[in-house]
Amino acid sequence: MRHKGVFVMADNFAAYLPHIDVNDGKARVMDNFELYKKLLGKFKGREMADELISAVNGGDTPKVIQVAHALRGTAGNLGFPILNEVTEKIEVLAKGGESSAHLIEPLNDAIKALEEAIAQLVAPA
């Protein structure tokens, strides 16, 4: 496939799995790869994760539910399957009145891996 004169092999996108499903994310923006990269560059995952962690540690269940749901939606829309899974678990636990403190490390790991993958993906060719 071609994007503004740059040849991009669809198979190269497999390198970003399991953290970024590029094909899924691109499909949500009508396969506009430049728009998708722009959205990735604006992703505020670390900030949202820090807010979620603060809410979990502070026992603020309504805030946990709100932020986990928002981060999960963003993860789903941008094609971040692992982050989507972790935030879904956090949201479900919070809705059930259970702590999700044990998921803070997997959340941090997912965000770190995403930041690294996004940096590679949006870097100029």
| 10-55 pLDDT tens trace | 446 877 888 899 999 999 999 999 999 999 999 999 999 999 999 9
Lowest model confidence (mean pLDDT) among 4-13, 52-61, 90-99: 4-13
What per-residue string of b and e applies to 40-69 under the rule 16 or more CB within 10 Å gives b?
Answer: beebebeebbebbbebbeeeebebbbbbbb
Q: What is the mean pLDDT of residues 51-79?
A: 97
Q: Mean pLDDT over residues 53-70, rounded?
A: 98
The residue-averaged pLDDT of 56-81 equals 97
Show the domains of the chain with their CATH numbers: 2-122 (1.20.120.160)
Interaxial angle between packed helices 45-58 and 81-95, expressed in degrees from 0 to 180 and rounded to the nearest 10: 20
